[in-house]
């Protein structure tokens, strides 16, 4: 990704420094107010970075964890006469415990760990595995962007929600990938960015990412999107997905469903963009989704560096679901590395696997 | 209205103190974090209170201004040998200039002023006029509540947006009036309160008012409403209107239209509640609405006592329309003092006038 003010043209949110063997993370906690790349030379510090949300976004966390296994091998190399298997298992457990529910993290860690075991704890091979897993994912995002290009026209005004950009996926992003690729290829696009209450990932992170790429955009309160649709100011919706069922039902950040209903009402195409790993091959119906209920505090307060400010009636309760569910009948297409698919095509390809 | 923690059962947001002849205003700037009633003994101070938003809501501002004319007469009485007409005109201009675009304010001031002139600057008669204008309006809101009762059933879960409660209308409110009356008559209702970005009038004021009445409620981010509708957790929408055209089109706080589209999609009745003065007898079509664009700052920052905190990417622009427009085809009924009307009935009654 580009970092405009630093004049950087090709930065990843997660990377391995070849010269000095450490993990580099863009500190996402500081975005959009500050930009800093942190270096991590020990597994303990890297685990702390995952726990404290220096890195966020399932794929970016996965990549960080994979590099963490390489870092673990490096640490083990320095110790004399240790039981390598025991030591590695210990460090792997530590990495897995940072975000116990993150699927990509577990997946990436196990693959890298397996390579480490199979190559008799070879640092070079383990690092190569971590890097290739990361590269594959970045490549998939780039392909999502390239395939998604077909639905973006010069002059499009696109609505997006929450954040599914390069920071979260190491590079390119999912929902933002086609937009970034279209812009880089000279298509003039305008993006309306839902601020995405309560955590404001759109106003903070997506808007910052679009600024870095120099893409024309405006932040709006979430309730403004429907009004813009009625005024023909939005002609496309592209957003991500946290999970996609076998029938094409998606769960994504709260607010997605409201946009989908409004898009349908205004005959505006609605696309969800995601890597293939987002597909949940086990769940059968939307009834199985458990919607995470988060703290009232996120709605009732605004958290900032020095503390939090109450922004609602103190004695009122708040209801704060993290996600909602959008059925396939409201989805015009799925932007994936296998192409922009209809629900029928998506379901078929899932079955093929 | 009730003020729970002070044990007050019947307070108006704007009132005249008969014993000592001053205007009392609930300081709405402090709600929901503090409660204070301010006393105003001079026209200058009262004008300052209107300007600095101690009082908000068109009807409440109208009532304050009318009492302001009575206060003006009281001041003139104390001056010797003055040209009463000149003095009163001066003070009236000062009151009118506080909020030049407020229709109720101008309307209330002219009616009270006319009484003052016709009664040869009688303080008693002018005060009587200001009080009767206020009483009529409060009575209309109470009637809206009583007539609106017919659409509220025991066990209803009602969504409301922004604020149209007792503080804004001296007492009872418009959208909240039927809810308050239903609750007082023992119907069990639950209210979902949209926080109403960007200014958070729902989270701050509506939630506070519902707490005072002891009505069960929860605050939600604006984008949650559609999700709750899909889960059958909301079975009615009641909100206000800032303006209603002759054909039943309403303009109201941004976000109203999105709710209306979602209510239609989910077959949930959508009601707009307002006093008859909200009807604009001059505008013919929604095309004539000019939507006020407000400062980017409201979206990009949270304002609090000590200043403001940036909550969005600093270099991004924000688009911040204050209102949106909802056509009659999305409106199930209009809750007015003349009854709960269909669009046809509303249009007919507007013509009759």
pLDDT tens string B282-293: 877 777 677 889
Asked if pLDDT for residue A100 goes beyond 90, the answer is: no
Residue with tokens 């403001």, as numbered in its chain: B308
**Residue A35 — very low, low, confident or very high, per pLDDT cuts 50/70/90?**
very high
Phi-psi sector, B251: left (phi>0), alpha (psi -120 to 50), beta: beta
Interface with chain B: mutation pick from A157, A199, A212, A221, highest number of B CBs within 10 Å: A221
Contact between chains at B207 and A319 (C-beta distance less than 8 A)? no
Q: For residue A63, how far is the Cα from the chain centroid? A: 12
Residue spans per domain, chain B: 4-141, 150-352
State the Cα–Cα distance between residues B174 and B181, nearest whole angstrom: 11
User: Which percentage of chain A shows pLDDT scores above 90?
Assistant: 87
Chain A residue with minimal CA distance to B233?
A319
pLDDT, greater one: B352 or B219: B219
Contact between chains at B264 and A265 (C-beta distance less than 8 A)? yes
Chain A residue with minimal CA distance to B258?
A226
Homologous superfamily of domain range A150-352: Translation initiation factor eif-2b; domain 2 (3.40.50.10470)
Q: What is the DSSP string of A59-85?
A: HHHHHHHHHHHHHHHHHHHHSSS--HH
The pLDDT value recorded for residue A153 is 97
Which stretches of A32-158 are DSSP H helices? 43-51, 58-78, 84-96, 103-118, 123-148
CB A302 within 8 A of CB A309: yes
- Compute the radius of gyration of chain B from its Cα atoms: 21
Name the residue facing B207 among A192, A210, A312 (closest C-beta).
Answer: A312
End-to-end CA distance of chain A: 31
Beta pairing partners, A218: A192, B317
Q: Which of A203, A261, A270 is nearest to A31 (CA)?
A: A203
Pairing of strands B243-244, B307-310: unpaired
Asked if pLDDT for residue A303 goes beyond 90, the answer is: no
Q: CA of B176, closest CA in chain A: separation in Å?
A: 16
A147 in helix, strand or coil? helix
Nearest-5° angle of CA A248, CA A271, CA A236?
Answer: 155
Which residues of chain B lie closer than 8 angstroms to A312, CB-CB?
32, 195, 200, 203-204, 207, 219
The pLDDT value recorded for residue A9 is 84
Catalytic, out of A104, A171, A222, A242: A242
Q: For residue A166, how far is the Cα from the chain centroid? A: 7
- Compute the radius of gyration of chain A from its Cα atoms: 21
Least confident of A78-87, B283-292, B296-305: B283-292
Query: What are the tokens at B305?
Result: 């006592």
The pLDDT value recorded for residue A200 is 96
φ, ψ at B208 (rounded to 5°): -65, -45
Model pLDDT for residues B233-258, shown as the tens digit of each residue: 999 999 999 999 999 999 999 999 99
Model pLDDT for residues A142-183, shown as the tens digit of each residue: 999 999 999 999 999 999 999 999 999 999 999 999 999 999
Cβ–Cβ pairs < 8 A, chains A and B: 193
Q: For residue A173, how far is the Cα from the chain centroid? A: 7
The pLDDT value recorded for residue A102 is 72
Residue B285 CB neighbour total at 10 angstroms: 10
Q: CA of B98, closest CA in chain A: separation in Å?
A: 28
Asked if pLDDT for residue B296 goes beyond 80, the answer is: yes
**Residue B56 — very low, low, confident or very high, per pLDDT cuts 50/70/90?**
very high
Contact between chains at A227 and B258 (C-beta distance less than 8 A)? yes
The pLDDT value recorded for residue B210 is 98
Question: Region A210-232: what's the mean pLDDT?
Answer: 97
Residues making up chain A, counted from first to last:
353
Nearest-5° angle of CA B308, CA B314, CA B316?
Answer: 125
Q: CA of B213, closest CA in chain A: separation in Å?
A: 12
Interface with chain B: mutation pick from A313, A317, A322, highest number of B CBs within 10 Å: A313
Chain B residue with minimal CA distance to A326?
B227
Which residues of chain A lie closer than 8 angstroms to B228, CB-CB?
319
Which residues of chain B lie closer than 8 angstroms to A3, CB-CB?
none
B271 in helix, strand or coil? strand
Q: CA of A319, closest CA in chain B: separation in Å?
A: 6
Name the residue facing A319 among B218, B262, B324 (closest C-beta).
Answer: B218
Q: For residue B344, how far is the Cα from the chain centroid? A: 25
ipTM of the complex: 0.94
Name the residue facing B317 among A218, A223, A313 (closest C-beta).
Answer: A218
Model pLDDT for residues B105-149, shown as the tens digit of each residue: 999 999 999 999 999 999 999 999 999 999 999 999 999 999 999
Q: Which of A163, A255, A240, A237 is nearest to A205 (CA)?
A: A163
Mean pLDDT of chain B: 94
State the Cα–Cα distance between residues B226 and A323, nearest whole angstrom: 12
Q: CA of B297, closest CA in chain A: separation in Å?
A: 11
- For the structural domain made of B4-141, what CATH number should be given? 1.20.120.420
CB B73 within 8 A of CB B44: no
**Residue B21 — very low, low, confident or very high, per pLDDT cuts 50/70/90?**
very high
Asked if pLDDT for residue A114 goes beyond 90, the answer is: yes
Question: Region B28-48: what's the mean pLDDT?
Answer: 96
| Residue B242: active-site member | yes
Least confident of A258-262, A284-288, A297-301: A284-288
**Residue A229 — very low, low, confident or very high, per pLDDT cuts 50/70/90?**
very high
Burial string for B188-213 (b: 16+ CB within 10 Å, else e) reads ebebbbbbbbbbbbbbbbbbbbbbbb
Which residues of chain B lie closer than 8 angstroms to A325, CB-CB?
227, 230
Name the residue facing B219 among A265, A300, A321 (closest C-beta).
Answer: A300
Q: Which of B39, B86, B28 is nearest to B67 (CA)?
A: B39
The pLDDT value recorded for residue A244 is 93
CB A63 within 8 A of CB A14: yes
pLDDT, greater one: A352 or A267: A267
Model pLDDT for residues B76-115, shown as the tens digit of each residue: 998 877 899 999 999 999 999 998 777 789 999 999 999 9
Asked if pLDDT for residue B307 goes beyond 90, the answer is: no
Residue B217 CB neighbour total at 10 angstroms: 25
Beta pairing partners, A239: A272
The pLDDT value recorded for residue A258 is 98
Question: Region B212-234: what's the mean pLDDT?
Answer: 97
Which residues of chain B lie closer than 8 angstroms to A310, CB-CB?
33
User: Which percentage of chain B shows pLDDT scores above 90?
Assistant: 87
Residues making up chain B, counted from first to last:
353
Which residues of chain B lie closer than 8 angstroms to A211, CB-CB?
313, 315-316
The pLDDT value recorded for residue A282 is 85
């Amino acid at each position: 990704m580009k970092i405009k003010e630093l004049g950087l043209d090709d930065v990843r949110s997660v990377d391995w420094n070849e010269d000095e063997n450490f993990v580099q993370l863009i500190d996402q906690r500081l975005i959009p107010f500050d930009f800093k790349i942190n270096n991590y030379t020990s597994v303990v510090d890297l685990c702390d970075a995952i726990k404290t949300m220096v890195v966020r976004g399932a794929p970016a966390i996965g990549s960080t964890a994979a590099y963490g296994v390489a870092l673990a091998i490096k640490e083990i190399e320095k110790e004399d006469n240790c039981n390598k298997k025991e030591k590695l298992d210990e460090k792997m457990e530590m990495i897995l415990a940072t975000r116990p529910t993150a699927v990509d993290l577990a997946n990436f860690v196990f693959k890298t760990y397996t390579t480490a075991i199979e190559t008799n704890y070879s640092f070079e091979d383990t690092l190569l595995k971590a890097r290739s897993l990361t590269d594959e994912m970045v490549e998939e995002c780039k392909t999502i962007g390239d395939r998604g290009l077909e639905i973006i026209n010069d002059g499009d005004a696109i609505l997006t929600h929450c954040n599914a950009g390069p920071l979260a996926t190491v590079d390119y992003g999912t929902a933002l990938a086609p937009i970034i690729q279209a812009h880089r290829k000279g298509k003039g696009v305008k993006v309306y960015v839902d601020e995405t209450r309560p955590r404001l990932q759109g106003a903070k992170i997506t808007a910052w990412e679009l600024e870095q790429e120099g893409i024309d955009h405006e932040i709006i309160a979430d309730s403004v999107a429907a009004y813009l649709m009625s005024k023909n100011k939005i002609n496309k919706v592209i957003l991500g997905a946290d999970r996609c069922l076998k029938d094409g039902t998606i769960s994504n950040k709260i607010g997605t469903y409201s946009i989908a209903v409004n898009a349908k009402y205004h005959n505006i195409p609605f696309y969800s963009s995601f890597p293939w790993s987002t597909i949940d091959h086990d769940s059968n119906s939307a009834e199985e989704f458990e919607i995470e209920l988060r703290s009232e505090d996120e709605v009732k307060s605004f958290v900032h560096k020095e503390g939090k400010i109450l922004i609602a009636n103190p004695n009122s309760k708040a209801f704060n679901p993290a996600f909602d569910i959008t059925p396939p009948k409201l989805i015009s297409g799925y932007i994936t590395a296998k192409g922009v698919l209809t629900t029928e095509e998506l379901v078929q390809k899932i079955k093929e696997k």
